[in-house]
Amino acid sequence: MDGTPSPIVDPSDAFRAVLGRLARGEILNEADAEQAFGLIMDGGVPDMLIASFLMALRVRGERQVELLGAVRAVRARMHGVTPVPAGTIDVCGTGGDGLGTLNISTAVAFVLAALGVPVAKHGNRALSSRSGAIDVLGALGVALSDDPAVIAAQLNDTGLAFMAAPAHHPAMRYAAPARKALGMRTLFNLIGPLCNPAGVTRQLVGVFDPSWLRPVVETLKLLGSERAWAVHGSCGVGQGVDELTLAGPTAIAALQDGILYDFTLEPGDAGLRPAPISAIGGGGPAENAVALEALLAGAHGAYRDTVLLNAAAALHVAGRGDILQEGAVQRPALRALIAEAARVLDDGSALAVLKSVRGDRPSVQDECIQG
């Protein structure tokens, strides 16, 4: 040690070196991807370089190892929520399907909570749809806190908490201008759902592109998840949705007992009537909120059936059933979980959860349900 200070490395210079590697067609290893995304989220990298980086990845084709490094970088900088109940689950999609459906995973969260499954629901405002999770919750009158301690208390007290992504991932703001300028899906669309602030190890993740199903589940496995499903529903020629769907087969990659499975689930497996994706077409936050509250109050139709199908899958991921055995769908188990989910819609329990998190004064009927 001669006392000579180490030279200061400009983040832009380090980032340009990574860009040069991508220009040569190289695949980043986990550490390099983590460093590159860390530089972005620490600020100091110009928007033009960020956009060039994201486009270079997309043109060459992003890889699972690069997703893993990126997720590690985001998780290292997020504002976490602790402590959380054992077995807490998240149900969240990547968005990006452009179909503008009613809010499915948000409705599923109320059903799960009514069945005693703790849910730490990670969500955002509308990006590709007209009403994201945060938008519809606002229209429902559900107040969201940005304080991790308050959110943890809500989760432990009520079994349900909603977390607005911007409050927990402030470093993501450095990538926002470049992402907006590009106006297309990038690796960031996949990163968010894999960075739940409550550190859940059980997840039902909707994915906009079926080619990412297995990479998403592989990434979650490497990050310590116990059980996870990544799902992509087919709803027409060239169309897909980031939920389980009644409009066609749903492709699924699953992590269970340390083993990865790939399989397909049909609406008929669940004993549900097929329905076109247009049957659950949504609108703005106010319209979707009316539909969601009616659903929780027992309304029937394609929206209810779609929520039941997704709730059954989430219950399996939460360990409340055994739909999948050695990679094969067990129809009786699936239908039993659908019946469980239907029960809390019909008896008012799911609606009571909404009223509780909204802070409504309990009615005599609500007290009977809870008692």
Where on the phi/psi map is residue 368: left (φ > 0), alpha (ψ -120 to 50), or beta?
A: alpha
320 is in an annotated binding site: no
| 104 carries a ligand binding annotation | yes
Q: Binding site annotation covers 97?
A: yes
Query: Is position 156 annotated in a ligand binding site?
Result: no
Beta-carbon contacts of residue 336 (< 8 Å; ≥ 6 apart): 321
Closest CA to 214 of 328, 63, 92, 32: 63
Ligand-binding annotation for 269, yes or no, is: no
Q: Is 232 annotated as a binding residue?
A: no
93 is known to lie in a ligand binding site: yes
Is 127 annotated in a binding site? The answer is yes
Q: Is 189 annotated as a binding residue?
A: no
Q: Is 228 annotated as a binding residue?
A: no
Ligand-binding annotation for 89, yes or no, is: no
Answer yes or no: is 126 a known binding residue. Answer: yes
* DSSP secondary structure letters along 58-116: HHH---HHHHHHHHHHHHHHS-------TT-EEEEE-------B---HHHHHHHHHHTT
Q: Is 242 annotated as a binding residue?
A: yes
Peptide bond connecting 267 to the previous residue in cis, omega within 30 degrees of 0: no
CA distance 248 to 234: 5
- The answer to the question of whether 356 is labelled as a binding residue is no
- Tell me whether residue 133 is annotated as binding: yes
Question: Is 95 annotated as contributing to ligand binding?
Answer: no
130 marked as binding residue = no
Instruction: Say whether 105 counts as a known binding-site residue.
Output: yes
Is 300 part of any known ligand binding site? no
Tell me whether residue 243 is annotated as binding.
yes
Q: Where are the alpha helices (DSSP H) in the chain?
A: 11-23, 30-41, 47-60, 64-77, 105-114, 133-140, 148-158, 165-168, 176-182, 188-191, 213-222, 285-296, 302-317, 331-346, 349-358, 364-370
Determine whether 177 is exposed, middle or buried from the number of CB atoms within 10 Å of its CB (0-12, 13-18, 19+).
middle
Is 129 marked as binding a ligand? yes
Query: Binding site membership for Mg(2+): which residues?
Result: 105, 242-243
**Which residues sit in the known binding site for 5-phospho-alpha-D-ribose 1-diphosphate?**
93, 96-97, 101, 103-106, 121-129, 133
Question: Annotated binding site for anthranilate, which residues?
Answer: 93, 124, 179
Residue positions forming the annotated binding site: 93, 96-97, 101, 103-106, 121-129, 133, 179, 242-243
